[in-house]
Structure 1
Amino acid sequence: MTIKDIARLAGVSPGTVDRILHKRGGVSKDAEKKVLEIIEQVGGFTPNVIARNLVLNKVYQIAVLMPLFNAESPFWQYPKEGVLKAIEEVSSYGMKVNISYFDEFDVETYKKALDEILKDKNLDGIIIAPHFTRETLDRKSQLEALNIPYVFMNVPLTGLNNISFVGQDSFGSGRLAAKLFHISQNTRKPRIIVVEVLEDFENYYGLDQRVKGFISFFADHPSYFKIDKLRVPNKNSQVFYQLLEESLKMYDDIGGMFFPSNALTKAGKYFDMHQIKLDMVVGYDMTEENKEYMNKGIFTFLICQEPFQQGYKSIKLMFEHLIYGKKLNRVYHSPIQILAKENLEYYID
């Protein structure tokens, strides 16, 4: 939004708007009231804030780094839509946002994209989905050297000086998943398989926290359940299905499976093809495919986290921090929502 835009909407000259913003006088009360009302309507800015940015012609440069939305990562469609919606709303007020993407199953793409962002000395803020633990921590000094605010989205990585985090409590959601098994008690088969995807699973902070939360619940609530882990690759579907099949054949007492990652969808496809229905299957996120498997009775519960809002809120918080100087909360947690077949159609992100 420029001085000319405000003048056009108010039906006055740009010079009149400038005098009002800088309190130089010589303007009718009616014109001043109209201009200030328009400033309020177009975003709730105080005159001092919008004046500062209009006069200085300041454009804040923001970099966003997030996983690429594709068939392997359908979840990321929704944070991306949230980011794009927020960009649409703030772009007129002195913020330019550039989005970079990485493959969430390829650490090299993450390193390359993050290193490119860290080279940019003109940035005023960064928003990162810090998917890979070691590679992010290794770049802590470079992040700090930029001396600009940065926000984490979706992954609650600790050990850095990000000004805020927007996303789900991964550890807490893992405990909730375990409690669903614990209170349902609808299986006499005692074995629960926790399916960890990727060979270097511990480097995926958010996913690893979900598993640790799951295990911690059963440590605090002893039961007849036996917890085993199955580690499988996500990229190679054939190997994924082979290991899943071997696990199902190896044990005849599997009561359920917990999927802390989007491998849940791939497992749903396998279960559907082979007409396999376990007593309990719990995983994450309401994508179209997961909705289909839920309706078929293949999945028991989905844990959701308002992904659109994660993307949207990350941009808006950075905007408020830079434009208004608003001090952000350390954490903005997404709700931990439980979906079953019975309430699936009522879910709105």
Structure 2
Amino acid sequence: MRTTVSEIAREAGVSPATVDRVLNEREGVRPRTREIVMQIARRLGYFGPQEDTTTDTQLRLDFVLPAGSNSFVRTLKKYLLEESRGRADVTANIHEIEGFDPDRLSAKLTDLRGHTDAVGLIALDHPQVREAINDLTKSGVRVGTLVSDIRSVDKIGYVGVDNRAAGRLAGFLLGRFLPRGPHNIAVFIGSLAYRGHEEREMGFRSILSEEFPEMRIIGTAEVSDDRDLAYSETMRFLDQGNISGIYNIGSGNQGIAQALRETRGKRKIAFIGHDLTDATRLMLLDRTMDAVIDQNPRVEAREIIRLLASSVKGSTEPEFLPRLQVVFRENIPAN
């Protein structure tokens, strides 16, 4: 059966209309987007069977990700493995680090010296980790950051959304959902050791200050992406006072949702979070969650592999930042 335009669009992280414009050679599409759509269309067999592209040159790529129950990271891991299997020139290995632990993360990066061509990682912004990244780069290994950036290290690039813009978008949504007037807002953070989480909080605070000064953040809970801790912190906020909105910067959405469901009869609280997963789909459907700010893990997996592999081969590729998408109950995309 021939590959469809919708299948190409889903793989590429663009709309079917964009794919249609590319396949029919119409204007209005960026060159890099056009290139990605054509590559995926060829890989999926839209133009017929591909020629054998097997190569003797195998690149070893290693990805260092946080361990745990984070649904987004599990999905990202799946796509990293799928995308690497779809390339004849790449072998990928996944390493998972327990906890928000700079010692373990830096030790793993040190262990990879001499055993890999390139490393992609979701990195803590910590002096020990920054030093380990720079040492790894000096040894000849290409390094790229993923999902959460670190600015002051020697790397080939970053693949992920603009997290400050994501935080501003969350603040804008809450400000539009809630009626004008004073409101108390609770903010949940995975870990401030992730620059991406810190940038989201900064963006959120900045737009509230600029556009919605009557909305007040009454507390911030750092929950380490632990759903049980997120549940207990949500109950604490609910017991302490009348909150109107919740913004969850990281994971732990299921713990927050459990607390809101248990107290649903008492009040309606606007709830904004990140990343469309099986769990957040259900939260949107039963109206526990009002909106999800999504980043496309399939696109991020594809782009970090492209960035790392191209760098090892001696070429420089432009960054292709995934777009932010807001998902509501009414526009949940098909799996």
Normalising by structure 1, what TM-score? 0.74
CA distance in 2, matches of 1:300, 1:187: 18
The reply on whether 1:79 has 2:85 as its aligned counterpart is: no
CA distance in 1, matches of 2:96, 2:62: 11
Kindly indicate whether the alpha-carbon contact (under 8 Å) linking 1:86 and 1:316 is maintained by their aligned counterparts in 2. Answer: no
- Tell me which residue corresponds to 2:105: 110
- Tell me which residue corresponds to 2:325: 337
The reply on whether 1:125 has 2:118 as its aligned counterpart is: yes
Deviation at 1:106, TM superposition (A): 4.2
The reply on whether 1:297 has 2:287 as its aligned counterpart is: yes
CA distance in 1, matches of 2:228, 2:70: 18
SS in 2 for 1:297: coil
Alpha-carbon displacement from aligned partner over 1:276-306 (angstroms, at most 9, x marks no partner): 6533110101111111111111111100000
Q: How many residues get paired? A: 287
| Greater helix share, structure number | 1
- Tell me which residue corresponds to 2:262: 273
- Tell me which residue corresponds to 1:138: 131
Alpha-carbon displacement from aligned partner over 1:156-185 (angstroms, at most 9, x marks no partner): 221112111111111110011111122333
Kindly indicate whether the alpha-carbon contact (under 8 Å) linking 2:227 and 2:256 is maintained by their aligned counterparts in 1. Answer: no
Alignment map for 1:1-349 (pairs within 5 Å): 41-43=51-53, 58-68=57-67, 70=68, 72-90=69-87, 92-93=88-89, 95-117=90-112, 120-186=113-179, 188=181, 190-197=183-190, 201-234=191-224, 240-252=230-242, 254-275=243-264, 278-323=268-313, 325-329=314-318, 331-344=319-332, 346=333
SS in 2 for 1:159: coil
Which is greater in Rg?
1
Kindly indicate whether the alpha-carbon contact (under 8 Å) linking 1:79 and 1:312 is maintained by their aligned counterparts in 2. Answer: no
Q: Residue 61 of structure 1 aligns to which amino acid in structure 2?
A: R
Kindly indicate whether the alpha-carbon contact (under 8 Å) linking 1:155 and 1:205 is maintained by their aligned counterparts in 2. Answer: yes
Alpha-carbon displacement from aligned partner over 1:208-244 (angstroms, at most 9, x marks no partner): 1110110111233253111232224447766543332
Q: CA RMSD in A?
A: 2.7
Normalising by structure 2, what TM-score? 0.76
Change (3 A) 1:183 1:123: same
Kindly indicate whether the alpha-carbon contact (under 8 Å) linking 1:131 and 1:206 is maintained by their aligned counterparts in 2. Answer: no
Kindly indicate whether the alpha-carbon contact (under 8 Å) linking 1:62 and 1:124 is maintained by their aligned counterparts in 2. Answer: yes
Structure 2: give runs of 5+ residues left out of the alignment: 1-49
CA distance in 1, matches of 2:212, 2:226: 36
Structure 1: give runs of 5+ residues left out of the alignment: 1-39, 44-49
- Tell me which residue corresponds to 2:10: none
Change (3 A) 1:58 1:287: closer
CA distance in 1, matches of 2:224, 2:141: 35
SS in 2 for 1:61: strand
